[in-house]
Amino acid sequence: MNPQVEAAAERLLNLLYPRRCPLCGGVVYGTPWNGAVCPDCAREADRLCHQPPRLPATEHEFYAVNTAAGAFYYADGVRHGILLCKEFGKPWFAREFADLIAVLVYGAEPAPVPGRMPVYQNLTGIPLYHAIVPVVPREKRHPADNLPLLLARRLGRILDLPVLCPLVTTRSIRPQKTLDLAQRQKNTNGAYACRPGTDLTGKRILLVDDIITSGSTVSACALALLAAGAVAVDAVCIAAAEDLPREKQKPKPAKRKFKENSHQ
């Protein structure tokens, strides 16, 4: 679709279906945090922001990926938003999360008003990446299950990159969340490949997933992309499952002082 027509269609849709905050589902009003989070959730988004976005190797077991980055820590409000998207089939959350990745990880200018897209200007004129590739979801019950693809499509529009889907699973994969690190690696090792005939020779690839936990899924996918000729694979996600730094932890509610209220 012509980008101008696409943008006009999006503005029209936004009038009918106002944009919603991906952390709470409320309508984004006023001046949203970095273009996509409602003022009520701004403090939560600030707290869970992964700054700098690069994921530390000490928290993950990466191989085959060059670097990995995430916009947030996978905790509290961010976890709630991702689960709303995946478990309750609300695919529009993907757009808001992709916009936040563009702003927080790639330094795009936040949308000035709700309903607009962040603006990414790569002033070097040399594309950082040649293509975006989403991780293959384990199973697809509804469109939002394919969160990596939805994220990749939106990021592709913002970063002006083509989206390719060469990855396939070569065997069944168990849900990662029930497994420990060794089991995760065994579960994903060799579980991905590129479709026969895929040629990524000389391409730098941005690999997109929703959550990075151990890093074994993105690593196994990256290995398959390298085998198809890619020269470098960087991974990006909405949220990284890492131990929250102490300053990021939720403040504990103050203990109630019964004595003070006992005269009531």
**Counting contacts by CB under 5 A, is residue 161 touching Zn ion?**
no
Which span (8-16, 31-39, 141-149, 223-231) binds Zn ion, by CB under 5 A? 31-39
Q: Sketch the per residue contact string, 118 through 147, with Zn ion: x for CB under 5 A, - otherwise.
A: ------------------------------
Binding-site size, Zn ion (CB under 5 A): 6
**Counting contacts by CB under 5 A, is residue 38 touching Zn ion?**
yes
3-class SS at 110? coil
> Which amino acid, residue 52?
P
Place of tokens 């090792």: 189
Which span (26-34, 99-107, 110-118, 177-185) binds Zn ion, by CB under 5 A? 26-34
Give the pair of three-digit tokens for residue 85: 């998207």
| Binds Zn ion by CB under 5 A, chosen from 19, 20, 23, 90 | 23
| Binds Zn ion by CB under 5 A, chosen from 36, 41, 155, 164 | 41
Half-sphere CA count of 122, side-chain side, radius 13 A: 12
Cβ(88)–Cβ(81) below 8 Å: no
Do you know the residue count of the chain? Answer: 264
Alpha helices (H) along the chain:
3-16, 42-48, 76-87, 92-104, 147-159, 181-188, 216-227, 258-261
Other beta carbons within 10 angstroms of residue 239's beta carbon come to 24
Residue 204 beta carbon to Zn ion: minimum distance, rounded to whole angstroms: 35
Which span (24-32, 88-96, 97-105, 164-172) binds Zn ion, by CB under 5 A? 24-32
**Counting contacts by CB under 5 A, is residue 68 touching Zn ion?**
no
| Residues near Zn ion, by CB under 5 A | 21, 23-24, 26, 38, 41
